[in-house]
Structure 1
Amino acid sequence: MRKWIYVALVTLCLFCINGAVLAASAVTPDGYFNGIRLAGKVRVVDSFPDIRVQVVSAFPDLRVQTVNYFPDNIGQWQFVDYGEDFTVQFVNSFPDIRIQFVNSFPGVP
């Protein structure tokens, strides 16, 4: 009987640890993803992006505000055709990060 209780507790702990790892965001609290600062000039590409992005309406990793000039703060993106800081590809599945477009208060939630 004790063996079954022990096995059940170990299994429960493994599920809890696995859930915590899955819930962790890919974006650091200071606004970086794999060494890329998530602010600045962004070019949208169809292949070989720096970051694969999925647009969501809830629970984003990053809130993004599009701006025309001076994208200095985390989450402020200016979409350009050349001279980009990093490239993104918009995808529907298996993203690196999830973003939500906002009109104010961009950044890491």
Structure 2
Amino acid sequence: MKTKLGIILVCNCLFSLFINRGVGATETINTADCSFNGHLLYGKIQLVDSFPDLTVQVVSSFPDLKVQLVESFPNQCGQWQIVTSFPNTKIQIVESFPDVKIQYVDSFPGLP
């Protein structure tokens, strides 16, 4: 009986470990180059409905990144120029389970 209980406990621990790794609990924004998993969080951004590089949720508080929409020269962390072709990063807006949470701002973009 103790052997079966031990095996179940070990299997449960391993299962929860793999579930947490699959969700991406260890993935964070790289502050050195303002990227997430190698994808830039500034520059020319294309909004897509499928096959994104990153999924993003728009929030009004506690963002991972503050985003300023610009018309040209998006070369600071958090500055996005929305384009329809030749993007640096493809973004899909989602309601839940995002890679990054953003908040739109008029000034002072970047990491909070």
Runs of 4+ in 1 over 2 A off after TM superposition: none
- CA change 1:63–1:25 in 2 (3 A) is farther
Q: How does 1:18-37 map to 2 (within 5 A)?
A: 26-30=28-32, 31-37=34-40
**Deviation digits for residues 24-70 of structure 1 (CA, Å, limit 9, x no counterpart):** 77212231100112110000000110000000011101000000000
Superposed CA RMSD: 1.4
Structure 2: 5+ residue runs without aligned partners?
1-24
1:26–1:61 contact (8 Å) kept in structure 2: no
Unaligned runs of 5+ in 1: 1-21
Partner of residue 87 from structure 2, selected from 79, 84, 88: 84
TM-score, scaled to structure 1: 0.75
Shift of 1:106: 0.3
Identity level (%):
52
Contact map agreement 1:25 1:61 (CA 8 A) in 2: no
Q: TM-score, normalised by structure 2?
A: 0.73
Q: Report the Cα distance in structure 2 between the residues aligned to 1:105 and 1:47, rounded to whole angstroms.
A: 30
Aligned residues: 87
Q: Which amino acid aligns with 2:60?
A: S
One of 44, 47, 52 as aligned partner of 1:44: 47
Q: Give per-residue Cα distances to partners, 1:5-30, cap 9 Å, x unaligned.
A: xxxxxxxxxxxxxxxxx6x7721223
Contact 1:75 1:106 in 2 (8 A): yes
- 1:58 maps onto 2:58 in alignment: no
- CA–CA separation in structure 1 for the residues paired with 2:110 and 2:52: 21
